[in-house]
Amino acid sequence: MATSENSSGIISYLYDHKWPIAVTIIVLLIVAAVAFFFRPLLDGVVFGVFFAYVTRPIKDFLRKYTKYAPMLATFCILLPVIAIFSFAAIELRNQISWFSDHGNEALAQVNAALEALGVPAELVVQLNDVLMNISQYAFAFAATVPIRETFTSLLLLGTNALVSIFVCYYLLKDGDRIISTIMSLTPARFQPAVSFFTVEADRILFGIYIGTFYTALFIATMSAVLFFLFSVPYLALCTAFVFIAAMVPILSGMMVFIPVAAYMYIYRDPAIGILFFLSAIIFVYLPPDFLIRPYLINRASNIHPLLIIMSFIGGGLAGGLSGFFAAPLAVGLLIAVYRTYLKYGEECK
């Protein structure tokens, strides 16, 4: 009897609220369809949000002098990023081309360096075999890469890069208008909570992204000085790689410093290689990742640095390059929701 009454009550409730339920289902279906069709452009959207936060201080400064501040701010981040990636790609291509033409010469230099270090001849032969197998496999693999899929991937990469530019520009230009539109569509009862959420989310994400970018910029600048002092070849290329790697906490520029230190240890002098590595740790690696980055992020967002580190690294492992920035975005929004619930949860019930 009770089950029959419950069923009739549910049916009655569904009938009385059929139109709100139908509208909700339609909206969810539309959102799902939009998410499905925009999924290939997710990388561009994420990077556009990141660039918008990074360039917002520039826009706020230029807005006092010109109405074209959003456009100028976008170009302030666009041109250096394009220059860094373009130079890195060109230089990497040149090095691959040189190695393909002078592989034996490079192998002879490696053998001479190993012999100078006193490595046994048998081990040198084994290392040569390993290097030859790796190089042959790499060239064979490159020859089997499908041209069509490669072209499609490059086209998608270019499209996402273009999308990130437009997302950055329009967030800088119309960000306040977007927030005003959201507030106007929000029922008056929930407007205080939504307003608090937008302010809190903006503050958190601004702290995360600004702290990340300016820390990477500091690391790249100090690295360039260090590379110059130690006469490291391909200074601009190494600095570009350090800047890209420094976006990720903890890993930072060590992915570049360790190979460079090994190169200097083998081809120059062990003392110089050790001195370079210690200088990189003391002056470039430790201050930003353990002092500057945690201070900037915690000061602006009031989030523990460990959570940010885990979100960056976990996002990169799960989502690739865009995951490095999408995961902190999701964590920041989740924390903003939690803080909003603590402040307005009871009032909105």
Q: Are residues 82 and 48 in the same domain?
A: yes
| Last-in-domain residue among 146, 175, 204 | 175
- Cα radius of gyration (the chain): 27
What residues make up the domain containing 138? 44-175
When divided into structural domains, the chain yields a total of 2
The residue length of the chain stands at 349
Question: What pLDDT band is residue 18 in, cutting at 50, 70 and 90?
Answer: low
pLDDT confidence tier of residue 6, bands split at 50, 70 and 90: low
Mean pLDDT of 135-149: 61
Whole-angstrom CA distances from 100 to 34, 104, 138 are: 46, 9, 11
Residue 193 shares a structural domain with residue 159 = no
Q: Are residues 139 and 191 in the same domain?
A: no
Mean pLDDT of the chain: 78
Examine the domain organization and report whether 297 and 203 are in the same domain: yes
Taking residues 171-178, report their average pLDDT: 88
Domain shared by 91 and 221, yes or no = no
pLDDT, position 16: 65
Is the same domain home to 219 and 107?
A: no
Note whether 153 and 209 are same-domain residues.
Answer: no
How far is Cα of residue 166 from the mean position of the Cα atoms in its chain? Answer: 18
- Amino acid residing at 102: H
**Residue 303 near residue 323, CB atoms below 8 Å:** no
CA 259 centroid distance within chain: 22
253 domain-assigned: yes
Phi-psi bin for 113: left (phi > 0), alpha (psi -120 to 50), beta? alpha
Within 10 angstroms of residue 347's Cβ, the number of other Cβ atoms is: 10
Residues 149 and 198 in one domain: no
Q: Which of 129, 151, 175 is the last residue of a domain?
A: 175
Question: 55 lies in a domain?
Answer: yes
Give mean pLDDT, residues 67-72: 87
Q: Establish if 19 belongs to a structural domain.
A: no
Helices (H), the chain: 2-16, 18-38, 42-62, 69-101, 103-116, 121-143, 147-185, 191-229, 235-245, 254-267, 270-279, 286-287, 293-301, 305-344
123 lies in the same domain as 207: no
Mean pLDDT throughout 35-64?
86
Judgement on whether residues 315 and 272 belong to the same structural domain of the protein: yes
| pLDDT per residue as tens digits for the range 268-286 | 888 888 899 899 888 888 8
pLDDT band at residue 349 under the 50/70/90 scheme: low
- The token pair at 253 is 């520029």
Q: How confident is the model at residue 14 (pLDDT cuts 50, 70, 90)?
A: low
Q: Please give the average per-residue pLDDT across 70-93, as a whole number.
A: 78
What is the per-residue pLDDT for 116? 65
The pLDDT of residue 181: 86
Examine the domain organization and report whether 149 and 264 are in the same domain: no
| Residue range 233-267, pLDDT digits in tens | 878 778 888 887 887 776 667 788 888 888 888 77
Q: Let me know whether 336 and 247 are in one domain.
A: yes
Is position 180 within any domain? Answer: no
Residue 210 placed within a domain: yes
Q: Which of 134, 151, 175 is the last residue of a domain?
A: 175
Per the CB < 8 A criterion, the answer to whether 47 and 325 are in contact is yes
Say whether pLDDT at 94 is over 70. yes
